[in-house]
Amino acid sequence: MGWQNHKNFSGVKLAGIYQWVWNIEGDFNWYAGLGGGFGSFKWKANDYKETETFVFAAGDIGIEYDFDIPLLLSLDFRPEFGFGTDHTDKFGYGVALGVRYQDYVGNDYSKRISYL
């Protein structure tokens, strides 16, 4: 989930991405994923107002460190391709630093559930 807010602009996006994770060494991993989402933006300036809803396809690639406690830090790059409006029919990207709480499925530490 992401949001932006400015004097003349506000927006929100919700994404779902499936990730594959590969170990580099120890608790240090890299991952890649694919998914998509939807969002809505509002523009307003003087007498001009506009609201748009859109969908997008997204990729994800990054690195993460898995601590011995249920905490994970990550840094990723996400390219996105938007569809649906004149303003969102284009390529965009984002860079994010993530902090996640995670739980494990039973005692199988290779199967984890992460919460943003």
CATH number at residue 19: 2.40.160
| Span 46-58, pLDDT tens digits | 888 888 888 999 9
Q: Which residues pair with 67 in a beta bridge?
A: none
Question: Quick one: pLDDT at residue 88?
Answer: 60
CA of residue 45 relative to chain centroid, distance:
29
| Span 50-88, pLDDT tens digits | 888 889 999 999 999 988 888 889 999 999 888 876 656
Cα dihedral value 88, 93, 99, 100, nearest 10:
60
| Span 91-103, pLDDT tens digits | 888 888 888 887 7
| Span 14-33, pLDDT tens digits | 889 998 999 999 989 999 99
When divided into structural domains, the chain yields a total of 1
Domain with 8, as residue range(s), is 2-115
Q: Return d(Cα 101, Cα 74) in angstroms, integer.
A: 12
Question: Over the Cα atoms of the chain, what is R_g?
Answer: 17
Q: Quick one: what percent of the chain has pLDDT higher than 70?
A: 80
Q: Return d(Cα 72, Cα 99) in angstroms, integer.
A: 6
Separation in Å, CA 3 to CA 9, 10, 31, 66, 71: 11, 8, 24, 26, 24
